[in-house]
Chains A and B, each alone.
Chain A
């Protein structure tokens, strides 16, 4: 189990670097790691968006890390021809359409210089994030502007949403939710307070996102 540890910056840096080099999925040759006061700063470039997200998660796995400032950018490798914007857009449209869980009828896709922009409407906050995840993981995509608007199928009262999130956190075996504060205003959930580690933060954020009626989640949780 995670514990609150203060470790010196050198040790943390060594572990983060070893972890990135161990992880077979990640091309870490252009990643720079710096550590200051429990914060890991990742900078440089990676060839895919999934590498960018994986590197951040890997850094959070190391004891003593309180936050990760992810400044990595995606640089499509020069050795392979980068697909044209129109080609990327058409791939994203197909991917969204072929996904059995998303209603893509209200989604509009456009791409400029490899940056995918999603606009229009979906019915839930998880569909919004899932559409973004699918789009950014298409070959050629280097960035994402997810401007999808969440329009729930039925209005759920703010109080009911809050209660639903509270109860689900209470049922969860992995999160100590005692330090979490939940506020809901017009379907927008704000989570604040502290949790034990990044894993707990991600679980709490996801629970809010998967709750009926939620338009968006503003995650202000800090790691103790």
Chain B
């Protein structure tokens, strides 16, 4: 990461970036910069915009952390009711060929969707969240899915599998990344050079067999 940029300069770049991005409705986004941290507040029309704004802020040199406090205020008109939202979310999950929805239960209250039940893998849990978030009318998705791997894999095997995948990957320097696994829960600690490395390390852990959850405590330096 580029160090020592002035917060005013980061601020100008982040706001220019959000304004440039044709996908994002940035009219109700407020930006604050404190040191190398960017804080986004305000509202956006969809959780896609919310996520894209965060990624855009991370793409600016000198940014070490983005605190995303954006809230989704759906622009859909007429706004679908909870019954309709629930049925949409059930359908989009069902039509996705990578997720087994037989043990997933969907609830909706005032546009807030709760996912309950079981999936086989952690990446299915996060994928289900992403898919549900991208349905119009949904303000927020609370992910209470539990991961139950079809076969048990020992913590040691999971850890080795992750480390070997790190070694094969060209985009990350993982010398300062510490991996620990306890009961299938992976904790990532240490430092990486930029946001891309941060994301790649997280994805490698997500896609490893036997993982139940990933806690990413990496710091971008």
Chain B residues whose CB sits within 8 angstroms of the CB of A146 once the complex forms? none
Q: Decide if A24 touches B46 in the complex (CB within 8 Å).
A: no
Q: Decide if A61 touches B169 in the complex (CB within 8 Å).
A: yes
For A3, A62, A172, A214, which residue has the most chain B Cβ atoms within 10 angstroms? A172
Q: Which residue from B60, B161, B170 sits with its C-beta under 8 Å from A171?
A: B60
* B174: Cβ under 8 A from any A Cβ: no
Q: Which residue from A62, A94, A100, A126 sits with its C-beta under 8 Å from B22?
A: A126
Q: Which of A14-22, A31-39, A178-186 is found at the contact surface with chain B? A: A14-22
Chain B residues whose CB sits within 8 angstroms of the CB of A1 once the complex forms? 171, 173, 193
Main secondary structure of the interface of A (DSSP, over half): loop
Chain B residues whose CB sits within 8 angstroms of the CB of A164 once the complex forms? 20
Nearest CB in chain B to that of A212: its residue? B22
Q: Decide if B207 touches A24 in the complex (CB within 8 Å).
A: yes
* B112: Cβ under 8 A from any A Cβ: no
Q: Decide if B88 touches A98 in the complex (CB within 8 Å).
A: yes
A interface footprint on B192-217 (CB within 8 Å = 1, 0 otherwise): 01111000000000011101000000
For B63, B135, B170, B195, which residue has the most chain A Cβ atoms within 10 angstroms? B170
Q: Are A173 and B195 also in contact (CB < 8 A) when A99-B136, A100-B74, A126-B23 are?
A: yes
Nearest CB in chain A to that of B47: its residue? A100
Nearest CB in chain A to that of B2: its residue? A173
Q: Which residue from A91, A173, A214 sits with its C-beta under 8 Å from B59?
A: A173
Q: Which residue from A62, A95, A173, A199 sits with its C-beta under 8 Å from B95?
A: A95
* A197: Cβ under 8 A from any B Cβ: yes
Q: Which residue from B137, B165, B173 sits with its C-beta under 8 Å from A19?
A: B165
* B123: Cβ under 8 A from any A Cβ: yes
Q: How far is the CA of A214 from the CA of B169 in the complex (A)?
A: 33
The residues of A with any CB-CB pair to B shorter than 8 Å are 1-3, 15, 18-19, 22-25, 47-48, 50, 61-63, 91, 94-95, 98-101, 124, 126, 137-140, 164, 167-168, 171-174, 197, 199, 210-212, 214
